[in-house]
Structures are given as C-alpha cells and as structure tokens.
Amino acid sequence: MTLHIAGNLHYDPLGRARLKKWFEDLKNKNIQPSYLLLEYNKTDLLAFLNARKEFRNLCEEEYKKYELSDADLDILEKSFGYELDSHLDYFDNIDILYYDKPNFKNSMIKDLIHTNRMYLENYDKNSENFIEILSKELWKYSNKLWESCNKDFGIGRDQYLFEQIKDKTKKIINNNGLLITGCNHARNYPNKLVNLLEKSKIYKNIEITNLECIL
C-alpha cells in the first residue's frame, strides 16, 4: 500500500488551506487512508488548541499597524497547530498517530509573532494580501535556509522520527496512510526522513507532495 507524505511548514498561515487542498485531492482520487501520522505528541494536543485564542489576541495587538481584518485574524488563529485538526472535514474517522516528543511551550506564541514580524518589513497594506505575503516570505526563508545549511544538520532528529514512524505503523503497513512532516524532513536527501523511509522498503509505495506547490 501507499504512504502519502505532505511536506509542510509548521507555522504557515496558509498551511490549513494547503492541507485541505491536499486532503481534497486525495479524496477525489478515491484514496482511503486508515491512519494519519502527525509530527506532534498527543500530550500537546489540547495545549496547542487552547493556545489559539491567545495567539489571535496577540496577533491583533502586535500587528495593529497592518490593519488586519477579522478574516485575517481567523486564519492566523486557526494556523496555530493547524495540522492537528485540518483533516476533520475529510477523514474524520481516521486513526491519528503522533510521532514526536512533547514540545509545546507557552513562549512559542510570542516567539512566533516576533519571528513573523521580521518577514513583514516591506509589507504594503494598501496593495498586498497580508496572509499571502507572510506565507510566501516564510516559505522563501525556509528554502533559503535549506540551500545554505549543512544538509547533514539535524539528521539525528530524522533518524528519531523514522524510528517512531516505523514503530507506530509496524502492524498496519499494509494499509494506506498519510504522513505530515516538516518540509525539510520530506526532502529526498541522504539520511533525511523520506530517504530513510524509502531505503527501509517498509512501505510498498511512497508519494511526496510539497505543500508549497499547492495553492
């Protein structure tokens, strides 16, 4: 069977829309996965979901000069931990498998807001869409970072994620599955997650989608 992989950007404000388009495309192809692997820990689930309102309020306060609409704030609010519930309109009965260590910290909320501000220095509220520009700049930075970094950096984490996924799916490898993981883990580069999955030959087929290319 096939493991369908989506390479995402964890705090992409358009991440929910991109994932939903991916899910929709899978449904249209009559693909029926039995499980969804998420790069989170189950113990963090409620923490991320409960933090959304605080994230929205801080966005409204910190980004006042951008004159965000309620629709913009809705998108930003739902973008916090968006991978956790984007599937519900498409695969509501799917088994959710969490394959990462606990990593939620309250400081993540303010850190994300301050980080986003760096990519909005040249934003023109009179002619540009805030959400689209922020998403575009975050992806641009991520790709630039990948091109300039030591590609072997972080492979220990890729190995850890690989072992977790292998363990979580060892009894269901004959079923179709979905895997959402950070875009750099989804690059087919030696010893990165996707490469480890392909070399293991655990899964009969692996299909990769870069969510930057959706929308």
Q: What is the pLDDT of residue 174?
A: 84
The pTM is what?
0.94
**Quick one: pLDDT at residue 145?**
87
Give residue 151's pLDDT. 77
pLDDT of residue 191: 93
State residue 215's pLDDT score.
87
Residue 119: its pLDDT value, please? Answer: 86
Q: What is the pLDDT of residue 21?
A: 98
Task: Specify the long-range contacts of residues 202-208, CB closer than 8 Å, at least 24 apart.
Answer: 202/166, 202/169, 202/173, 203/1, 203/2, 203/3, 203/173, 203/177, 204/1, 204/2, 205/1, 205/2, 205/3, 206/2, 206/3, 206/5, 207/2, 207/3, 207/4, 207/5, 208/5, 208/7
The whole-number pLDDT of residue 127 equals: 74
Mean pLDDT for each consecutive 10-residue tract of the chain (215 residues)? 95 97 97 96 95 97 92 97 96 94 94 90 81 94 88 87 95 92 93 95 94 94
Contacts 24+ apart (CB under 8 A), 54-61: 54/109, 55/80, 55/109, 55/112, 55/113, 58/109, 58/110, 58/113, 59/113
Q: What pLDDT, on a 0 to 100 scale, did the predictor assign at position 131?
A: 95
Predicted local distance difference test score (pLDDT) of residue 135: 96
pLDDT (0 to 100) of residue 29: 95
Judged on CB neighbours under 10 Å (0-12, 13-18, 19+), 95 is middle
> What's the pLDDT at 92?
85
pLDDT the model gives residue 60: 96
